[in-house]
C-alpha cells in the first residue's frame, strides 16, 4: 500500500491530500515518524526519524497523531480484497502482503494483466492506492513494488531478475540495513550487481550464513530469513516486545508501574494471537541520562497472561530501579516459546485457568470494539497513545486458527 498511514488519514480528512503530512505525533514530542506523505519525503522526512528532526527538515508539514484502529480496519479491507483474488496470501505487515497467483491464468490472464486487475480492485474497494511487483521470486517482487511506487505496477519477466537488480543500491535488498550496507561499502560493494560478482565462499567467510543468503538474493532468489518459508507458512515471531518513551521523564512509581502493566497487556495480547507462551520475560529501563539496563527472568511456568507477566515485570522493576531516578523509556520483551505441555502449578492452576478464560473474553471484546475496549485496572493510569507500527495486535491474517 502506498504511504498507507498517510493515505488512511486522507480518507478521514481529504484536505490533507497533496500536502506534506507526517504521521506519528506532534513535532515537539519525543516520538518518531510512523509515515510521511510523498510531499514530505521530498524534504528528507522518512519513517523512524525523530519527530523533532522531521520538523527541522519540513517545518511546513502537517503533523498528525497516528490512529492504529483506523489502520487495522483498513488493513482488514485490504486483506479481504487479497483473499478474494487468490487463496494463498501472506500478510507481511499491516500494509504489505505476498500473493501466489500460480494457476490463476484462466481467471485473470498473464501476470501483468492479473496485477492490473488487482490494482483496480484494490482502489475500488478501499479508495487507497497500492503498488505491485510481479516476479517468480518474492524478494524481487517486493523490490519491484518499491520501484513501482507510487501507484504503479512492475513485472520482472522470469530470467531477467539479475539484470533488474544489478543497477540498484545494495540497500534495496531486504534485510540489508545500515550496518550491513556500511560493511559492504567497505568491500567496494555498492550495487547489487557488485554483490552478484562475488564468490559465495567469500561472502560466507565474511558474513556467515547471511553471506550465503546475500549471494542468493543478489541473483534474484528467495534466500534467508523470511524467504526460507513458503508463502502462508507462518513461522511465527522469535520474540515479541513493546516499549514507550515518556513525553517527560518521570520518577512517579505509580505511573511507571501502570505503564508497565499496559505494556504487558500489549505483549500478552500478541502472544495469544500467535498461540505462544513465553518462558523468558525481560524489562528494559532507560533513565534520563540515557543509561539503559535490561533484566530478564524465567518464571516457573511459561505464560501468555497479562496478570502473570505484569507480576514478573513489576518485580524486576522494583528490584532494579534506582529510587528517585527519573525514567525516560520502558520496555517489555517476551521470548523463549514453550514447547509441549508445561508443568502445572497445582495450587495456582484454578486461578491460572480463570485468568485464561477472562483474557480470552477480553480479546473477543477487543476484536469487536477495538484494543481500548477493555484492560487491566492496574494499567489505566499508564495508558499511552499506541505507537503506529507495522505489526500491531489484530494484524489481518495473523490470528491463530
Q: What is the 3-state secondary structure (H, E, C) of the chain?
A: CCCHHHHHHHHHCHHHCCCCEEECCCCCCCCECCEECHHHHCCCCCCCCEHHHHHHHCCCCEEECCCHHHHHHHHHHHHHHHHHHCCCEEEEECCEEEECCCCCHHHHCCHHHHHHHHHHHHHHHHCCCCCEEECCCHHHHHHHHHHHCCCCEEECCCCCHHHHHCCCEHHHCCCCCHHHHHHHHHCCCCEHHHHHCCCHHHHHHHHCHHHHHHHHHHCCCCCCHHHHCCCCCCCCCCEEEEEEEEEEEECCHHHHHHHHHHHHHHHHHHHHHHCCCEEEEEEEEEECCCCEEEEEECCCCCECCHHHHHHHHHHHHHHHCCCCCCEEEEEEEEEEECCCCCCCCCCCHHHHHHHHHHHHHHHHHHHHHCCCCCCCHHHCCCCCCCCCCCCCCCCCCCCCC
pLDDT of residue 400: 42
For 221-225, the CB contacts below 8 A with 24+ separation are 221/137, 221/139, 222/137, 222/138, 222/139, 223/139, 224/175, 225/175
Torsion angle (degrees, nearest 10) of CA 386, 4, 169, 166: 140
Q: Is 243 a known active-site residue?
A: no
Lowest model confidence (mean pLDDT) among 70-74, 232-236, 244-248: 232-236
Catalytic member of 96, 204, 243, 390 = 96
Q: What's the half-sphere exposure (Cβ side, CA atoms, 13 Å) at 63?
A: 21
Lowest model confidence (mean pLDDT) among 59-63, 156-160, 338-342, 361-365: 338-342
For the residues 311-337, what does the mean pLDDT come to? Answer: 94
Is 397's pLDDT higher than 70?
Answer: no
**116 vs 371: which has the higher pLDDT:** 116
User: What cell does 127 get?
Assistant: 479508495
For the residues 241-270, what does the mean pLDDT come to? Answer: 92
Is 384's pLDDT higher than 90?
Answer: no
Rg of the chain over Cα atoms, rounded to whole angstroms, equals: 23
For the residues 153-179, what does the mean pLDDT come to? Answer: 94
pLDDT of residue 381: 66
pTM listed for this prediction: 0.74
pLDDT of residue 52: 93
Is 389's pLDDT higher than 60?
Answer: no
pLDDT of residue 401: 34
Contacts of 31 (CB under 8 A, 6+ apart): 24, 25, 50, 51, 245, 387
Query: Considering the chain, what is the average pLDDT of its residues?
Result: 88
pLDDT of residue 84: 95
**67 vs 236: which has the higher pLDDT:** 67
Q: Among 75, 100, 2, 132, which Cα is nearest to 397's? A: 75
Asked if 218 and 195 count as a contact pair (C-beta separation under 8 A), the reply is yes
pLDDT of residue 99: 95
For the residues 153-175, what does the mean pLDDT come to? Answer: 95
Amino acid at each position: 500500500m502506498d504511504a498507507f498511514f498517510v493515505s488512511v488519514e486522507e480518507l478521514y480528512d481529504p484536505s490533507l491530500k497533496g500536502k506534506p503530512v507526517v504521521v506519528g505525533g506532534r513535532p515537539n514530542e519525543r516520538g518518531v515518524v510512523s509515515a510521511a506523505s510523498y510531499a514530505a519525503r521530498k524534504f528528507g522526512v522518512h519513517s523512524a526519524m525523530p519527530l523533532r528532526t522531521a520538523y527541522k527538515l519540513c517545518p511546513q508539514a502537517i503533523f498528525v497523531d497516528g490512529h492504529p484502529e483506523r489502520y487495522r480496519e483498513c488493513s482488514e479491507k485490504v486483506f479481504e480484497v487479497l483473499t478474494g483474488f487468490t487463496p494463498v496470501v501472506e500478510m507481511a505487515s499491516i500494509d504489505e502482503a505476498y500473493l501466489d497467483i500460480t494457476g490463476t491464468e484462466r481467471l485473470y490472464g498473464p501476470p501483468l494483466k492479473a496485477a492490473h486487475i488487482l490494482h483496480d480492485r484494490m482502489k475500488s474497494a478501499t479508495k487507497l492506492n497500492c503498488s505491485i511487483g510481479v516476479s517468480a521470486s518474492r524478494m524481487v517482487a517486493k523490490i519491484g513494488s518499491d520501484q513501482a511506487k507510487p501507484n504503479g505496477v512492475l513485472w520482472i519477466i522470469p530470467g531477467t531478475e539479475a539484470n533488474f537488480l544489478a543497477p540498484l543500491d545494495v540497500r534495496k535488498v531486504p534485510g540489508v540495513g545500515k550496518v550491513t550496507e556500511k560493511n559492504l561499502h567497505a568491500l567496494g560493494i555498492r550495487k547489487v550487481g557488485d554483490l552478484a560478482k562475488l564468490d559465495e565462499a567469500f561472502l560466507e567467510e565474511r558474513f556467515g550464513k547471511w553471506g550465503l543468503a546475500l549471494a542468493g538474493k543478489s541473483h534474484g532468489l528467495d534466500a534467508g530469513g523470511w524467504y526460507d518459508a513458503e508463502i502462508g507458512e507462518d513461522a511465527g515471531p522469535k520474540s515479541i516486545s513493546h516499549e514507550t518513551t515518556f513525553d517527560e521523564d518521570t520518577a512517579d512509581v505509580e505511573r511507571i508501574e501502570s505503564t508497565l502493566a499496559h505494556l504487558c497487556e500489549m505483549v500478552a495480547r500478541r502472544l495469544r494471537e500467535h498461540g505462544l507462551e513465553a518462558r523468558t520475560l525481560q524489562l528494559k529501563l532507560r533513565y534520563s541520562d540515557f543509561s539503559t539496563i535490561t533484566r530478564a527472568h524465567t518464571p516457573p511456568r511459561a505464560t501468555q497472561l497479562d496478570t502473570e507477566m505484569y507480576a514478573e515485570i513489576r518485580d524486576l522493576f522494583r528490584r532494579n530501579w534506582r529510587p528517585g531516578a527519573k525514567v525516560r523509556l520502558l520496555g517489555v520483551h517476551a521470548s523463549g516459546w514453550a514447547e509441549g505441555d508445561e508443568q502445572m502449578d497445582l495450587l495456582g492452576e484454578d486461578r491460572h485457568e480463570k485468568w485464561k478464560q477472562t483474557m480470552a473474553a477480553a480479546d473477543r471484546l477487543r476484536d469487536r470494539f477495538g484494543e481500548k475496549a477493555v484492560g487491566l485496572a492496574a494499567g489505566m493510569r499508564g495508558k499511552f497513545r499506541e505507537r503506529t507500527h507495522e505489526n500491531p495486535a489484530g494484524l489481518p491474517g495473523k490470528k491463530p486458527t
